[in-house]
Amino acid sequence: MDLRECINIQEIGHGKTVANAAGICRFNGNNFLLVDIPGTYSIMSNSEEEEIARNYICFGKPDATVVILDATSLERNLNLAYQIMEITDKVVVCVNLLDEAEKKGIHIDFEELEKCLGVPVVGTTARKKKTLDKLMEKVEKVCNRRN
């Protein structure tokens, strides 16, 4: 996947300052609608960002939800992954910023993390195409097993 292949990025929402952004991405001959919801550490609906994120995951009926966690502060971010996994089993956990984690001497055992969480887990460095391809492969698998 080349991020330049993502097209038609636009905000979707109802005139709110905080909104979702969406774009089409082509991967393995398939089109994927990617929706970027506001960044948050929780979906407990204490803020507008959390409410928008929760509502999209609950009512937008996504074929997969990618939860992007910061590899440099994984423990703090796992709470969000657990909350989303309570709502849907169509989750891929993406641990991003591996390059920054490596600089800090942080090593993550992705196989063990995947086993503990019970959902696909992939590590990425957003600037490396190869890691983004691995992410899209996992997303494609989750989407193909939809009911």
Domain ranges (residues) in the chain = 3-144
Using CA atoms, how far apart are residues 78 and 76, in angstroms rounded to an integer? 6
Q: What is the SS3 assignment for 58? A: helix
User: Is domain 3-144 given the CATH code 3.30.420.40 in the classification?
Assistant: no
pTM: 0.81
Q: What is the pLDDT along the chain (147 residues), one digit of tens a residue?
A: 343 343 333 444 444 446 677 888 889 988 888 888 777 777 876 788 788 888 888 888 888 989 989 999 998 889 889 988 998 889 999 999 999 999 999 999 999 999 999 999 999 997 888 888 999 999 999 998 854
b/e sequence 94-111, b meaning 16+ C-beta within 10 Å: bbbbbeebeeeeeebeee
Q: Kind of pairing, strands 20-27 and 30-36?
A: antiparallel
- Residue 18 has a pLDDT of 60
